[in-house]
């Protein structure tokens, strides 16, 4: 059968999701919602966009791919109540006992539909792939999922400078909201892995935020990063058992390597490692642009994020109503050309 899809928001991930829907043999794009009046009426993937919520929700569609910068619980609940499944990379990866989950579960039951959070990191590297690889191991003592990315390849100047706080003085970056913003997703990922592995982890995760400053002025695609301002950040979430680290999720973001302290990226990649029997170390390449500044409009990590959403749609539409995670759905696969 063909699943009818609405794309909600047309930022970097949303535009790539539209490409993915149009390339998927089981999906049909039937609607596009945009935030601004300026974008309303423009065509995306052959569909004229609207910023009228009532209009978009009146469409006959099976699923909404929901990709705003930040998710809104009330907005998602409204979509679910309109009898449309939702796939999103902005949260709800493993949302048990989180704020708003009762409302979303109720909306799923009311609409007879499913909500699924997916993506890449969090949303894939941090939980789906560690759990898949864990089947190769016994005596699992520690699991680590880690990202190493050059933020010069992230084409979102406002986000990089005003939300991620690159190019800001260290004292301002120290107050970054990113540990909390990212932590909503990464903490769910860590807890999913713990539950699936049978670990009774301590109630609170250990968290960390570190940064390095530029040793010279850096000319980047998102503007000048002055010497002495923040040009690298590291965020960490650790689940412990009786205080002993058992699961670690970490993000390393750098803008080059002229840094103090002298951090080095060592190449862009994602890693999943097990201290287990056997010890296992897997490196994911190909999810970053080959050249800094290359193909910023189709950043490979964002493309993978969009594709993970798109490829989830048939499985989510066929699932029983409710909030569903990787632990609830069958193995999700892409489609051949």
Domains of the chain: 3-119+303-323 (3.40.50.720), 128-286 (no CATH)
Q: Count H helices, E strands: the chain?
A: 9, 17
Across the range 56-60, mean pLDDT stands at 98
Distance of CA 233 to the CA centre of its chain: 18
Nearest to 202 by CA among 263, 235, 246, 152: 246
The DSSP code sequence of 5-71 is EEEE--SHHHHHHHHHHHH-TTEEEEEEE-SSTTTTT-EETTEE-B--HHHHHTS--SEEEE--SS-
Across the range 42-56, mean pLDDT stands at 96
Across the range 305-315, mean pLDDT stands at 98
Distance of CA 309 to the CA centre of its chain: 10
Give residue 54's pLDDT. 96
Give residue 296's pLDDT. 60
Residue 118 confidence (pLDDT) above 60: yes
**What are the backbone dihedrals phi and psi of residue 316, each rounded to the nearest 5 degrees, phi first?**
-70, -40
pLDDT in tens, 222-277: 889 999 999 999 999 999 999 999 999 999 999 988 999 999 889 999 999 999 99
Strand, coil or helix: 109: helix
User: pLDDT-derived band of residue 295, with 50, 70 and 90 as boundaries?
Assistant: low
| Residue given tokens 């680290």 in the structure block | 245
Give residue 291's pLDDT. 67
């Amino acid at each position: 059968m063909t699943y009818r899809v609405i794309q909600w928001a047309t930022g970097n991930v949303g535009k790539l999701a539209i490409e993915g829907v149009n390339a998927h043999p089981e999906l049909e794009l039937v609607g596009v919602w945009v935030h601004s009046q300026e974008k309303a009426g423009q065509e995306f993937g052959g569909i004229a966009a609207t910023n009228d919520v009532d209009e978009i929700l009146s469409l006959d569609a099976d699923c909404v791919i929901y990709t705003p910068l930040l998710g809104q619980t009330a907005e998602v609940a409204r979509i679910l109540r309109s009898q449309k499944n939702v796939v999103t990379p902005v949260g709800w990866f493993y949302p048990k006992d989180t704020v708003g989950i009762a409302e979303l579960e109720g909306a799923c039951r009311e609409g007879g539909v499913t909500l699924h959070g997916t993506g890449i990191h969090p949303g894939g590297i941090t939980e789906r792939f560690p759990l898949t690889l864990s089947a190769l191991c016994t005596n699992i003592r520690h699991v680590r999922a880690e990202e190493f990315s050059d933020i010069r390849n992230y084409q979102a100047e406002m986000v990089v400078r005003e939300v991620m706080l690159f190019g800001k003085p260290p004292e301002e970056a120290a107050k970054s909201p990113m540990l909390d913003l990212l932590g909503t997703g990464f903490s769910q990922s860590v807890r999913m892995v713990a539950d699936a592995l049978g670990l009774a982890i301590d109630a609170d995760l250990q968290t960390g935020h570190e940064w390095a400053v530029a040793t010279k002025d850096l000319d980047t695609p998102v503007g000048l990063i002055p010497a002495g301002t923040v040009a690298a950040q590291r965020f960490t979430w650790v689940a412990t058992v009786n205080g002993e680290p058992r699961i670690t999720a970490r993000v390393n973001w750098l803008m080059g390597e002229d840094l103090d302290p002298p951090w080095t990226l060592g190449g862009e990649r994602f890693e999943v490692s097990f201290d287990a029997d056997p010890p296992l170390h897997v490196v994911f390449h190909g999810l970053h642009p080959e050249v800094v500044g290359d193909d910023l409009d189709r950043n490979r990590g964002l493309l993978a994020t969009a594709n993970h959403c798109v490829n989830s749609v048939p499985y989510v539409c066929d699932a029983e109503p409710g909030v569903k995670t990787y632990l609830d759905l069958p193995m999700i696969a892409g489609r051949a050309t």
